[in-house]
Amino acid sequence: MTRRFRLDLRFYILAVAVALVALACGGSDGSSASASPTETAVPSPTSTPEPAPGVVSASATLSEDNSLIARVEGVLDGPGQVYVEYWADGVGRLRTKTYDSDGTSFTVPVVRLRAETTYSFQAYGASPGGGKSEGPSGTFDTGHLPEVLAASKMDTLVGEPTLTLTFMEFRQAGFLGLAAYDSDGSIVWYFEAPNEEQPYVMALKPNGNILYIAGFQGGTTAMAVVEIDPLGVEQDRLVDECTPFGPIHHELLVLEDGRVMYLSREILRPGYGDPIMPQEGDTIGIWDQAAGTNEIVWSALDFIDPSERTVPESNRRLPGFPLWGGCDRDGDVQDWTHADSLSMAEDGSVLIGLRNLDQIVAIAPDFKSILWRLGGPGGEFTFTDPTDKFYRPHSVVALPNGNVLLFDNGNHRPGEEGGEYSRGIELALDMDNMTARKVWEYRLQPDMFAPCCSSVTRLENGNTLVMYGSNFVPEATRPYLVIESDRRGGAAWAAEHTSPGKPNQYRVYPADSIMGEGPVFAR
Amino acid sequence: MRIYRLSRWTALAATVASLLALAACGDGGEPVDVDATVVAAVSATVEARNTPDGEEPSTGDPSAVPVILETEASVSESNPLIVEVRIRTDIAAQVYVEYENGDAGRFRTATAALAKEHVVPVVRLRPDTEYSYDAFALGPGGKLSEVSSGTFETGKLPEALATIEHSTEGSSTSELLLLDYEDVLGSYIYALDSDANIVWYYASPNLVADQPYAINAVRQQDDYNLVYYMGRNRRPCCIREITPLGEIVDNLSYGDIDGLPHHDQLLIADREVMYLARIYEEVDDSANGGEEKVLVEGDSIRIWDRKTGTSSEVWNAFDMFSTDVRLTWETVPFYGVPGQPEREGEIIRWWNANSLQIGPRGNYVLSVKTLDQVISISPDLQHVEWVFGGPNGVYKFATPDDRFYLPHTASELSNGNILLFDNGQGRPEDEGGEYTRVVEFSLSEYDLAATKVWEYRPSPDLFSRTRGGAYRLKNGNTLVNFNTTPRVVVEVDRDGEELWRLEAWSPAYKGSYRAYALPSIMGETKQE
């Protein structure tokens, strides 16, 4: 996930750089809007190297399909570029990215809007050289949120986040989709999935588009991998026909070359054990959208023996619920490895988190060998302190320094190691002595135990977003904690998300923009 | 397999201990009906019985071939289904007996240790049946003697057992079935062979004449001794260890120190028995509209160390659960509570478990009948891992019909699923009303959903209002005991199909708790 974030940030830094050049036109619009000093700001233009087209007309309309997406349409006096600034009471001034006109007509999508709010906007003409012209202004009202989203909350408990947006999945009766909160706890973007698909894993692409796994019913296996743009318009779709690639589950990783790595599964038959049972082993696949290809590049069954397992986790079988079971969702298949995350290291090796083996495996860049195994049966590292061991992890991240970051759910952690509690933990690996030791952790006080799901994300500033995505509180009030922890394990920001009826929170995704928009400093 | 070897002295000491324990058992000095078998310490037999094959070091000439000088078979005076074969050899030899009846089949006893004089107990015998037997002796070097043969005829069953009508359909996959049985006058443990013949029994003594003490859990040790609980709410008693010959080896009576055992116990390492014991705490219930001081009944888990004769509490419900979370909150008269010999006053029944199982990770799974729930306690007994069902259950049911009521014998299977006997007492009409079934759930940590993945519900329905139980066998089948009239025991396969069905009826039948698949009563094996 860190990898994805880094790619996204790179893109955004590039976008900001382009904006700096393109919008270096100066001037003030007299807005009194302010922005948080922690937000990445789009500087106001300071000069006009070449004339920008004039904006003849501009009017705003709200999307018929989404109450938080507007578009400003209008006419320029000549072909060129245009952007829109928009603001509301209590909401900082934001600016869209710059769009090319279509002849003299233009349409600028406006996102990151709060519900039931009156926004003011002003259109600006722009030139590739940085010219700017002030255009007409106006207002528009956003609509109501879907009922489930309206009932949800993201209450800040302390501090403020480094990145102002938090994406997450909503997978509950009444709403199946994705949404993003701003730092004030307002939902400012959402996407409701079609066809009763249940998005539960997403990845932000460098172009701002979003990939998600369209979960099948209540399970984690996929109907498809779908790419949408921030307006919710489908751009691409890999139908999970299962054989021979599926079922896709749990992870999407956008690689630097644009390909999409995912987790899938294959079944070992007749299997293992007494009585012998089919075993579900995880695989890694790569979807190359540009080439239109899709292939499985690695299988746990080629490298790990099914005798290496934990009990009862590796013996768990597919319930009637369509969680696992291969393409046939076979109820006799045992959930041997249960991978739930992928991460690519700086050297091109791939980490896979095998939850049911309490293990992280490093796979060589060519996928032809295993480099090391950390934790669980067959683990090659000694934990210098037994309390550094992790149990049933989620969200494994390869850090640039070679360390491994993960969410240690802690299911069935032995009492002598502290019992069942959850934490984010960073482990340093000594490859000479094959030892592992904790170098950072975030652990709530008092402890919280998240038996499932949950995520960790290392931010560029070294902070870590830790999300506790499961607990035993009744669904009507079940809280999910999101904490941005600093390097010392303190909480720079903490928020509590609730959405009555939401059974769990698989991950959250920090971001600073939805569609290239950004805050405008006061001028 | 843990092998326990009793010496003559430990056997004698155990017998004495059991007598002492028995003397301490009972309510306020009520007469104790000690079965005569208790004092019939057959230490030589015990020693031989508990010596595993081939473990005894050989002494003497390895080329020597033993000669059986004399054999004699006699039916035990205390039990018509136990025969003692006395064997005398010319040199110290190991001995065993093979015995046969045309209908019952041929069996072989365990091999007794080197000695010249042996008393080999023979069990798994049908009543009123003539058997032939062959005695064999093995010399120090393993040379086999010539066979010495004879016959014996078993006696009649006690009337209480003889009047039970057993009828079966289909075939059981188990050679033996162990059953508890309570009738109006007494309680028994007995074993049925695959043809539904009683081939072993033990008459559990009434501590008060003509007042049966129900038998709950029965556990078989590796040395074939049985550890069972006898007693009931109003007549608590004890956990007992008996040999297959009916000798009481050890006894833990309820009392101030050891608490009030009930319903279930587990055999754990080093002759330790983990058991459920009731405990009582005074709580302030005014926040719930109750009185400021009410005495509430909960449960604890204790471990009885039979090596030292002591017990200790390792867990209790009051430490882990709030009395504010309740389903049953009924006022009942005191019964046999430690420190309350007069049984005066009242208690609030709040948290009562009725089964205890060690899960695949070493966790402890309990069914809590007063809260319609199953819980898992961590292997170190320091925290509750999850609560399933009832008012504070964390897993949601896919449909209301999946809810269970008054569960028994909850167990976590090797795949993490939960199997339980759902008595169904109090099941609402809109969930199907009162019927009994066995149901297996998969518990998903992903969305905290409980999904029914298997169910056995007989057709027509049976309703086991109380007691009953179900166990998953190693072959994947499930053995179920319905405490109905007639009693019904079934073995069902993974598809829910009945492979075998036993119905047992007696006019004196009062109730039953569980049925167990048993490989052997005393180490005897069937000969093909």
HEC string of A354-375 equals EHHHCEEEEECCCCCCEEEEEC
Strands A508-511 and B509-511: unpaired
Same domain, A14 and A83: no
Residue with tokens 């690519």: A344
Same domain, A82 and A20: no
pLDDT for the residue numbered A318: 65
Same domain, A116 and A78: yes
Out of A311, A419, A472, closest to residue B360 by CB: A311
Work out how many CB contacts closer than 8 A connect A with B: 92
Same domain, A136 and A60: yes
Length of chain A in terms of residues written: 523
The CATH code of the domain that includes A91 is 2.60.40.10
Q: Which residues from chain B sit within 8 angstroms of residue A317, using beta carbons?
A: 415, 417, 442, 453
Q: Phi and psi for B48 in degrees, rounded to 5?
A: -65, -40
The C-alpha angle with vertex B16 and arms to B11 and B18, in degrees rounded to 5, equals 90
ipTM of this predicted structure? 0.77
Helix (H) or strand (E) segment spanning residue B19: helix B8-24
**Residue A13, domain member (yes or no):** yes
Least confident stretch, A216-225, A395-404, B4-13, B514-523? B4-13
CA dihedral A322, A327, A329, A332 (to 10 degrees): -140
pLDDT tens profile B75-116: 999 999 999 999 999 999 999 999 999 999 999 999 999 999
pLDDT tens profile B250-269: 999 988 889 899 999 999 98
**Chain A interface residues facing chain B, Cβ-Cβ under 8 Å?**
218, 220, 275, 311-313, 315-321, 323, 331, 334, 411-412, 414-416, 419-420, 451-453, 470, 472, 475, 503-504
Residue A148, both tokens: 């489930």
**Residue A196, domain member (yes or no):** no
* A446 min Cα distance to partner chain B (Å): 15
Residue B73, beta-bridge partner list: B85
Give me the half-sphere count of Cα atoms (radius 13 Å) on the Cβ side of residue A193.
33
Confidence of residue B199 (pLDDT cuts 50, 70, 90): very high
CA–CA gap between residue A150 and residue A140 (Å, rounded):
20
Q: Which residues from chain A sit within 8 angstroms of residue B449, using beta carbons?
A: 218, 319, 321, 503
**Residue A175, domain member (yes or no):** no
Do B365 and B374 form a contact (C-beta atoms < 8 A)? Answer: yes
Residue B272, beta-bridge partner list: B268, B305
Is there a contact between A472 and B394 if contact means CB atoms under 8 Å apart? yes
Strands B396-397 and B449-456: parallel
Is there a contact between B444 and A275 if contact means CB atoms under 8 Å apart? no
* A471 min Cα distance to partner chain B (Å): 9
**Residue A275, domain member (yes or no):** no
CA–CA gap between residue A486 and residue A497 (Å, rounded):
20
CA–CA gap between residue B358 and residue A327 (Å, rounded):
34
pLDDT for the residue numbered B335: 67
**Residue A318, domain member (yes or no):** no
pLDDT for the residue numbered B209: 78
pLDDT for the residue numbered B43: 30
Helix (H) or strand (E) segment spanning residue B352: none
Side chain identity at residue A270, one-letter code: P
Same domain, A24 and A64: no
Helix (H) or strand (E) segment spanning residue A329: none
Do B175 and B525 form a contact (C-beta atoms < 8 A)? Answer: no
Helix (H) or strand (E) segment spanning residue B280: strand B272-283
Residue B151, beta-bridge partner list: B132
* A490 min Cα distance to partner chain B (Å): 27
Same domain, A25 and A88: no
Out of A315, A321, A331, closest to residue B416 by CB: A315
Same domain, A129 and A97: yes
Least confident stretch, A180-189, B147-156, B177-186, B326-335? B326-335
Nearest CA-CA partner of A352 in A307, A305, A303, A401 = A303
**Residue A3, domain member (yes or no):** yes
Do B228 and B218 form a contact (C-beta atoms < 8 A)? Answer: yes
Do B114 and B511 form a contact (C-beta atoms < 8 A)? Answer: no
Identify the three-state secondary structure at position B371: helix
A450: closest chain B residue by CA: B445
- pLDDT mean over B329-343: 67
**Residue A137, domain member (yes or no):** yes
Last residue of a domain, one of A122, A141, A160: A141
Residue A408 to residues A108, A392, B443, Cα–Cα distance (Å): 43, 7, 20
Give me the half-sphere count of Cα atoms (radius 13 Å) on the Cβ side of residue A517.
27
CA–CA gap between residue B354 and residue B356 (Å, rounded):
7
Identify the three-state secondary structure at position A259: coil
Q: Which residues from chain B sit within 8 angstroms of residue A275, using beta carbons?
A: 475-476
Residue A171 to residues A193, A200, A226, Cα–Cα distance (Å): 10, 7, 16
Confidence of residue B329 (pLDDT cuts 50, 70, 90): very high
Identify the three-state secondary structure at position B368: strand
Same domain, A76 and A7: no
**Residue A422, domain member (yes or no):** no
pLDDT in single tens digits along all 523 residues of chain A: 333 333 333 333 333 333 333 333 333 333 332 333 333 344 444 554 578 999 999 999 999 999 999 999 999 999 999 999 999 999 999 999 999 999 999 999 999 999 999 999 999 999 887 889 999 999 999 999 999 999 999 999 999 999 999 999 999 999 999 999 999 999 999 999 998 899 989 999 999 999 999 988 766 778 899 999 999 999 999 998 877 787 899 999 999 999 999 999 998 999 999 889 999 999 999 999 999 999 999 999 999 999 999 999 999 886 544 555 567 767 788 999 999 999 999 999 999 999 999 999 999 999 999 999 999 999 999 999 999 999 999 999 999 999 999 999 999 999 999 999 999 999 999 999 999 999 999 999 999 999 999 999 999 999 999 999 999 888 888 999 999 999 999 999 999 999 999 989 999 999 999 999 999 975 5
Residue with tokens 């170098």: A439
HEC letters along B76-129:
CCCCCCCEEEEEEEEEEEEEEEEEEECCCEEEECCCEEEEEEEEEEECCCCCCC
Check whether B50 has a pLDDT greater than 50. no
Nearest CA-CA partner of B368 in B348, B385, B388, B384 = B388
Residue B450 to residues A307, B389, B396, B419, Cα–Cα distance (Å): 28, 9, 6, 12
Strands A175-181 and A518-519: unpaired
Q: Phi and psi for B36 in degrees, rounded to 5?
A: -60, -25
Residue A83 to residues A114, A127, A249, Cα–Cα distance (Å): 19, 10, 39
Confidence of residue B212 (pLDDT cuts 50, 70, 90): confident
Number of domains in chain A: 2
- pLDDT mean over B399-405: 97
Residue A271: is it exposed, middle or buried by C-beta count within 10 angstroms (0-12/13-18/19+)?
middle
Q: Phi and psi for B13 in degrees, rounded to 5?
A: -60, -40
The residue segments making up the domain with residue A136 are 55-141
CA–CA gap between residue A249 and residue A222 (Å, rounded):
6
Least confident stretch, A335-344, B21-30, B475-484? B21-30
The C-alpha angle with vertex B114 and arms to B110 and B120, in degrees rounded to 5, equals 40
